[in-house]
Structure 1
Amino acid sequence: MTRRLNNWILYLILGLGLGLSPLIYAEGIKVKAAEIERVDTDWLLNAVFNIELSPGLEDALQKGLVLTFQTEFELTRGRWYWFDERPSQVTRQTRVSYQPLTKQYRISTEGFSFSVATMREALQAAGTIGGWRVIERANIDLGKTYIAALRMTLDLSKLPKPFQVNALNNRDWNVLSDWLRFPFSPSFQNVIAQ
C-alpha cells in the first residue's frame, strides 16, 4: 500500500512539474525565423525573435530601466589544419525603454528610433530584424559552404551596476536565445532557417 501511495505521489509531482513547466519557462528569447538574402554584392539578414520577459523585467522596464538586446551573427567554416575561419562576426544592439510622460515604449537601433503604445509591440519590434548587412562579398569564397549562427541576448553589461549585481543572482534576468546554426552557401539566392 505504501509503495503504491509513494508511486502515486511521485506521478503527481512529476505531472504537476510537467504541467507547470511551460508556465515557468515561458520567458526567454526564441528564434522564429531567419533568412539571408543576397542584395547586390552583400548578404542581408532578416530574422524574427520571440521575446518574453519575466514579470520582474517587465516591471523594471515600466519603471524606467532601459533594456538592451544584443543580436550576434557569425559565419564560420571549419578547417582541419587550423582554427575555424570567421569571415563575418557582427553584433547589433536594440534598446527598449518606457517613456512615462507619453506612456509609450521607445525602440532604438543603429541610429533609428520610433515609439509604440504597448510593451508587446515594443518587444515584437525589438525582435524583428530586417535588412541587416552581415556578410560582405570580399570576405567569402563563392564556391565554399559556411555555417551561419545567430542569437539574441539581453546585454546585462548595459544595465546600471546595481541591476548587474541583481542579474548575477537572479535567473529571470538572464534572457537569451539558443544559437541557431544553419548552412550558408553563397551560390544560393536565399537561405532560410526555421
Structure 2
Amino acid sequence: MKRRIPLLLAIVALLVIAPLLYHLVVDQNPDEMKIKDVLVTNDQTNVLVYARLSHFPPDIEKAILAGVSTTFSFKIEFYRKKKHWFDERLAQLEIIKNIKYDQAKKKFYVTSTFPQTAEAFQEFAMARLAVAEINGIPVVNMKNLSRDQDYYARIKLAWENYRLPFYAEFLRIFLSFRDFETDWQIQPFRLQT
C-alpha cells in the first residue's frame, strides 16, 4: 500500500504538468501560424470583423514559391451569450482565399470568395498580405442585436496546401505537406453607441 501512494502521486503530477508543458512548447513555436489582431466592431448597418494571419511558415512560403496552389479558409462565427444555456450562434461564414504562383509569368494570383475578387501581384509580400488579412467582413445585421446583450465572434484559419486528383487522395498520408488549422480566437463584442 505504501508503494502505491508515491506511484499514484507521480501519475497525478504527470497528468497535471504534461498539459502545461505542452502549451508552453506549442505557444513558443515560431513557425506556428496564428490569427491575430482580431477586431469586431460595427458600422450603422453590420457587425464587421477584421483579422490577420501572423505569418506564413517557411514551408508554406516554399510551397507557394514552388507553384503549389494553396487555399486558406477563414471561418467566422458570431454568438449571443446566454446565461444558463448554450450560446446562440447568429452567423457562420467562411471566406476562402487561394494563392498560386505562376513561375513563367512571375506573378502571384490571389482569389477570394468575399469580396469576390481575383487579383495578380508582382511581389510576394503584396500577395501574402491579400491572402493573410480579412478587412471589414460583415457578419450580422445590427437589426438582429440588442444593446443589453453580450456577444462574441470567433475566428480560425484552416489551410490546405495542395489538391490531388480524386484517385490519388490516399497518397496525402505519405506526403510531408499536411492540412492545418489554427485555434479559435475569440473576441467579445458589445454594441457601440
Question: Contact 2:81 / 2:150 at 8 angstroms: preserved in 1?
Answer: no
Tell me the distance in 2 between the aligned counterparts of 1:164 and 1:51. 28
- How far off is 1:69 after superposition? 0.5
Residue 181 of structure 2 corresponds to 176
Which residue number corresponds to residue 118 of structure 2? 113
Give 5+ residue unaligned stretches, structure 1.
1-20, 190-194
RMSD of the alignment, in Å? 2.9
Contact map agreement 2:37 2:51 (CA 8 A) in 1: yes
**In structure 2, how many angstroms separate the alpha carbons of the residues matched to 1:58 and 1:64?**
10
CA shift, 1:80, in A, is 4.8
Q: Please, which moves more after superposition, 85-94 or 123-132?
A: 123-132
The answer on 1:141 being equivalent to 2:156 is no
Is residue 89 from structure 1 mapped to residue 89 from structure 2 by the alignment?
no
TM-score by length of 2: 0.70
- Residue equivalent to 1:51: 55
Residues of 2 paired with 1:46 and 1:64: CA distance? Answer: 28
User: Displacement, 1:68?
Assistant: 1.0
Preserved contact between residue 77 and residue 84 of structure 1 (Cα < 8 Å): yes
Q: TM-score, normalised by structure 1?
A: 0.70
- Report sequence identity in percent: 19
| Structure 2: gaps (5+ residues) | 1-24
Structure 2 residue aligned with 1:151: 156
1:131 and 2:136 aligned:
yes
Per-residue CA deviations over 1:110-131 (Å, capped at 9, x if unaligned) read: 3212122333432222111112
